[in-house]
Amino acid sequence: MGLASLHAMKREGRKIVAVVAWDYQIAQIAERAGADIVSVGDSVGVNLWGQAPDEITLEEMLVVCKAVRRGVRRALVSCDLPPRFVSVDNARRLVNEGGADMIKIEDAPQAVGALARAGIAVFAEFHGGKAPVEALVEHARRLEEAGASLLDFRHSGPQAGAAVVRAVAIPVIGGLGGGPWLDGRLRMAHAAIGYAASSLDSKTESYAHVAQTALEALGAYAEDVRAGRHLKGQGPA
C-alpha cells in the first residue's frame, strides 16, 4: 500500500479505512482486519496513559510509532507530530527512527509546505464546525497546494464534506464528525471495540464491548484465585 494506491481509491470511489492504533497488538489486528492506514495518534497520551492534553512528548510518540510499525506490513503508517514539536527535523525522526510513512499535523499550511518540500508525506488535519462551506473548500485547496498528500476533515458535515471531496484531488477522510460523504473514515481502534473503562458506565456506539468482557474475565480470575482454584489455561504444575 502506498500513497498512489490511496489516490487511486479516491478516483475509483473506493472508501479508505483508517484506524488509530497505539500498540503492536492492535496494529496487527487492524492490519488483518483490512485497514488501509494505521494512524498513530497523539491522543494516546490522554486516552491510554491518562496524561493531560498536550503533555505527550516527541520521545513518547517515537516509542508508540515504533511499536505500531512493528505490527504493520501492508498498510500505510501515519504518525502524529504534536503541535508543539512541529518541525522538519522532528518529522524526519518519526520517519527515520519511528518508521512512519507519513506525518500527521494539525491545520497549518505553512508547516505542511515545509514538510512536503523536505520530501515528507503529510496528512493534514483541519476542522469544519460553523465555518462557511466556501471557506472550508478554499482552506482544503490551500493545504493541497502546500503539498498535503491526505486530509483529515473533522466535523465536516454532509454539505462541506462533499464539497471539499469534490474540490481537491487528494483523499479526504474524517475522524470525529466524519461521514459517508468523505473518501473514507478514521476511528480509534479502542473506540470501535469499546475498550475504554468509561464505557462500563456510559455505553458508547461501538462494534464490541471489550471493557465489559475484560471486567468479567478479570472478575472470574479474581474469584478463582480467592477460591484456591487452578486458573484457566494454567493446569496443575
Q: How far apart are CA 230 and CA 226, in angstroms?
A: 10
What pLDDT band is residue 171 in, cutting at 50, 70 and 90?
very high
pLDDT digits 0-9 by tens, 138-170: 999 999 999 999 999 999 999 999 999 999 999
| Full-model pTM | 0.93
Q: How far apart are CA 58 and CA 213, in angstroms?
A: 33
Q: What is the dihedral angle through the alpha carbons of 107, 109, 112, 114, rounded to the nearest 10 degrees?
A: -140
Q: How far apart are CA 222 and CA 117, in angstroms?
A: 56
Residues 173/7, Cβ–Cβ less than 8 Å? no
Give pLDDT, residue 199: 87
What pLDDT band is residue 203 in, cutting at 50, 70 and 90?
confident
Give pLDDT, residue 129: 81
Q: How far apart are CA 64 and CA 22, in angstroms?
A: 6
Backbone angles phi, psi at 60, to 5 degrees: -65, -40
Q: What CATH class is the domain 3-192? A: alpha beta
pLDDT digits 0-9 by tens, 68-122: 999 999 999 999 999 999 999 999 999 999 999 999 999 889 999 999 999 999 9
Residues 152/176, Cβ–Cβ less than 8 Å? no
Q: For residue 186, give the DSSP letter.
A: E
Domain segments of the chain as ranges: 3-192, 194-237
pLDDT digits 0-9 by tens, 116-145: 999 999 999 999 888 899 999 999 999 999
- Listing DSSP states for 44-79 in one string gives HHHHTT-PPTT---HHHHHHHHHHHHHH-SSSEEEE
